Amino acid sequence: MSKLQFWIVTAVAALGLVTTAANIALLTHNRGVQAEVSQRQQFVQQSLQLETLYREIVRALSELAARQNDDALRAMLQKHGVTAPGASQVPPPAPPVGAKR
């Protein structure tokens, strides 16, 4: 084997090692990203499952406020954007003076 062939083979081997190291680094990074995405996906799935429960709770509170004529409960629901049945329709507060629309 000549000197030129030796250096070509050495360069190709070094390039292979660099490529392998880059592959390992990307693999490690991708595993971390996949774990994060998996956690987010699990959170979204659990949130969707709880959405029905939350709607039922809000509906029950709304009906309770209407049935017992509970102004404090109605005010709390309205504060969070829920209009209880039978609640007086209060217009939203006016924007501050000088505020742009």
What does the pLDDT read at residue 83? 79
Spatial distance between the Cα atoms of 30 and 37, rounded to a whole number of angstroms: 10
What does the pLDDT read at residue 89? 45
User: Do 85 and 62 touch, CB atoms closer than 8 A?
Assistant: yes
9 Cβ neighbours under 8 A, 6+ residues apart: 1
CA 22 from centroid of its chain's CA atoms: 31
Backbone dihedral angles phi then psi of residue 33, each to the nearest 5 degrees: -65, -40
pLDDT > 70: percent of the chain = 82
Domain-by-domain residue ranges, the chain?
3-79
Q: Region 52-62: what's the mean pLDDT?
A: 91
71 Cβ neighbours under 8 A, 6+ residues apart: none
Q: Region 39-67: what's the mean pLDDT?
A: 91
Residue 39 CA: distances (Å) to CA of 3, 33, 34, 45: 54, 10, 9, 10
pTM, to two decimals: 0.48
